[in-house]
Homo-oligomer: A and B are copies of this chain.
Amino acid sequence: MQDVARAVGVSPMTVSRAFRNDASVSDKTREAVRQAAEAMGYVFDSTASTLRSQRTGFVAVTIPSINNANFAETVRGLSEALKPQGLQILLGTTDYDIQNEEELIEQLLRRRPEAIVVTGGKHTERARRLLENAAIPVIETWDLPERPLGHVVGFSNAAAVGMTVDHLVAHGATRIAFIGGDADRDTRGTDRRLGFIAAMQRHGLDATRLIAAGAPPISMREGARAMARLLETLPDTQAVICVSDLSAFGALSECQRRGVAVPGQIAIAGFGDYEIAGTCVPALTTVNPFPHEIGRKAAEVIAAALASPGLPPQRAAISPGLIARDSTG
């Protein structure tokens, strides 16, 4: 910056101002600075700017996996809405593990983000402390935690699966199964299973047809294997709800391989409204949790919280939408 200043014949302070568009610099000077910088190959150094101004321009985001269209959509929504505010996403993945999440959160906080968005509402005690001490807006997403850390933009995974159960029951199904992961690692998956059980009991139906398909997140392949197990052990099942569209599609593919008619012999529903759910034959009944909307709203909350630091914790509840398609008749 010194060098650029010398080249233009101004002070470093003026160069600094020229690079930020807000400060009072004449257009002529600004243009001269830009050109000199471009010619010299100078690239502004945010690390120094960050230290002095105490503004990093980062928003930290944790998601379970980058290889998941739903979370990717949330990140995209966030990113799009944060960009005009001059904020950039610093992304990390937890691999569906709250221990990893704790470590990741610490890593991210060292970078001094201006806000942090986490997926889910279940964290280790130390992670909670870290987030509380960070003195920045915290947004929990994809869940409606009972004991929120700060702001919340999410929905009830249990209630969303309840909608699917209601839909199947309305179509006359009574022997309904649930395919999900087997551990408590994926808390959203667990919530969906619990939501299934609660809804079945509410209808006075048997809620014990639970197929555990391995360590979450369960893939198409695991969904297929789980369906094979279901067809063999509980062949009179009329409908099955899968923890995600991916496993639901795997289940559907297994039926196709075995010549089991869907929905004729067994109805299948998924979760997430992945693109595949609308494309495959028969198209899958699913629930749209509006992942992009979650990201967009989280960005709005961040903007509001940064604008007025005393803002009380916001709670934006998203209403997932049931999408009834051919796979459930």
A2 at the interface (CB under 8 A from B): no
> Interface code A208-221, partner B: CB below 8 Å = 1, 0 otherwise?
00000000000111
In the bound complex, CA of A51 to CA of B45 (Å): 9
Contacts of A76 in B (CB 8 A): 66-67, 93
Contact of A67 among B73, B88, B134 (CB under 8 A): B73
Which residue of chain B has the shortest Cβ distance to A111 in the bound complex? Answer: B46
In the bound complex, CA of A50 to CA of B48 (Å): 9
> Interface code A69-88, partner B: CB below 8 Å = 1, 0 otherwise?
10011011001000000001
Which residue of chain B has the shortest Cβ distance to A108 in the bound complex? Answer: B88
A10 at the interface (CB under 8 A from B): no
Instruction: Say how far A279's CB is from chain B's closest CB, in angstroms.
Output: 4
Contact of A279 among B72, B134, B250, B275 (CB under 8 A): B250
Contact of A66 among B51, B66, B278 (CB under 8 A): B66
Contact A44 B110 (CB under 8 A): yes
A155 at the interface (CB under 8 A from B): no
Instruction: Say how far A91's CB is from chain B's closest CB, in angstroms.
Output: 5
Instruction: Say how far A1's CB is from chain B's closest CB, in angstroms.
Output: 12
> Which A residues from 50 to 75 make CB contacts under 8 A with B?
50-51, 56, 66-67, 69, 72-73, 75
> Which A residues from 102 to 158 make CB contacts under 8 A with B?
106-107, 109-112, 129-130, 133-134
Contacts of A314 in B (CB 8 A): none
**Which 6 pairs from chain A and chain B are nearest by CB?**
A41-B133, A67-B72, A220-B279, A256-B281, A46-B110, A66-B72
Enumerate 11 A-B pairs (CB-CB under 8 Å) in ascending A order: A41-B129, A43-B110, A47-B50, A48-B51, A66-B76, A67-B72, A88-B92, A88-B107, A89-B91, A220-B275, A276-B276
- 18 more contacts with CB within 8 A, not counting A221-B275, A256-B281, are A41-B133, A43-B106, A43-B133, A44-B110, A45-B112, A47-B111, A48-B51, A51-B51, A66-B72, A67-B69, A67-B72, A72-B72, A89-B91, A219-B275, A220-B275, A220-B279, A253-B279, A253-B281
